[in-house]
Amino acid sequence: MRNAWIICRKEMGSYFTSPVAYLLLTVFAVIVGYFFRGLLGFFVYEGMEMQMRGQQFPMNLNERVIRPVLTNVGVIGLFFIPMITMRLFAEEKRTGTIELLATSPIRDLEIILGKWLAALGLYCCLLLFTALNFAFLFRYGNPDWKPLAVGYLGLLLQAGAVLAIGTFISSLTKNQIIAGAATFGVSLLLWVLEWESGYETTTWSRVLSYMSIIAHFESFARGTVDFKDAVFYITVIFLGLFFTARSLESLRWRS
């Protein structure tokens, strides 16, 4: 696993020596910050209105702010993940550096794991910036930190799954744009599959909506760890990385 760590550090290095990481961090922080501000503003407005009517208002920050913000972070993440994963293998294949990796005494699995971990690492950095927003809630309010932690765990699992899919797609092509666009399409589709259950009740549509990446986040956003949902994400991670390994192997046979 030492080798996976070497690859991971190298990938992190190339994220942070190019403007990619900083651009993603900035844009993500701005967008999430805007969502946070909107939701918080709505919460405050609602609270004031209720007070003026003399009604008792349950001031639950976890329910009214943290949960919707986390759900939104998950969805916004879907838009950013293609930009994280698209270069992972496509770039190496285009510049020919994949030959260096493939002729070094390391296993394919270590390469894949290292790259995926680096992508996950960058996503963690993105999440760190969202945590800044919640820091204000803790400063001026009194939310419960446990559901928040569970929410972040859910976000990581969810991102891990989509990142694994993105890693796989990146290993299929030499072209970063193709890898990015395809990953974006797939993650968008995995999001909207959830809608299927809204108007259909057939088995087929239930299966489809079960495949939705976002639907499984619901329980984590509520602050509960649902074993079933965690297993779903972990399965997708395994499948994604497994297919990447097969794809790298086929590279040697086809090339």
Q: Does 1 bind other proteins (CB under 8 A)?
A: no
Q: Does 250 bind other proteins (CB under 8 A)?
A: no
Judged by CB under 8 A, which of 46, 99, 144, 200 binds other proteins?
Answer: 99
Residue with tokens 């996950």: 120
Closest separation between CB of residue 92 and other proteins, Å? Answer: 9
With contacts defined by CB under 8 A, name the span among 56-64, 98-106, 156-164, 215-223 that binds other proteins.
Answer: 98-106
Please give the structure tokens belonging to residue 233.
């994400």
Judged by CB under 8 A, which of 52, 53, 54, 96 binds other proteins?
Answer: 96
Closest separation between CB of residue 67 and other proteins, Å? Answer: 39
Judged by CB under 8 A, which of 24, 39, 66, 101 binds other proteins?
Answer: 101
Judged by CB under 8 A, which of 26, 51, 95, 224 binds other proteins?
Answer: 95
- SS3 string, the chain, reads CHHHHHHHHHHHHHHHHCHHHHHHHHHHHHHHHHHHHHHHHHHHHHHHHHHHCCCCCCCCHHHHHHHHHHHHHHHHHHHHHHHHHCHHHHHHHHHCCHHHHHCCCCCHHHHHHHHHHHHHHHHHHHHHHHHHHHHHHHHHCCCCHHHHHHHHHHHHHHHHHHHHHHHHHHCCCCCHHHHHHHHHHHHHHHHHHHHHHHHCCCHHHHHHHHCCCCHHHHHHHHCCCCHHHHHHHHHHHHHHHHHHHHHHHHHHHHC
Query: By CB under 8 A, what part of segment 2-31 binds other proteins?
Result: 3, 6-7, 10, 13-14, 17-18
Closest separation between CB of residue 9 and other proteins, Å? Answer: 8
The smaller minimum CB distance to other proteins, of residues 56 and 255, is found at 255
The smaller minimum CB distance to other proteins, of residues 39 and 101, is found at 101
Closest separation between CB of residue 18 and other proteins, Å? Answer: 6
Q: Does 109 bind other proteins (CB under 8 A)?
A: no
- Which positions touch other proteins (CB under 8 A)? 3, 6-7, 10, 13-14, 17-18, 95-97, 99-107, 252-253, 255
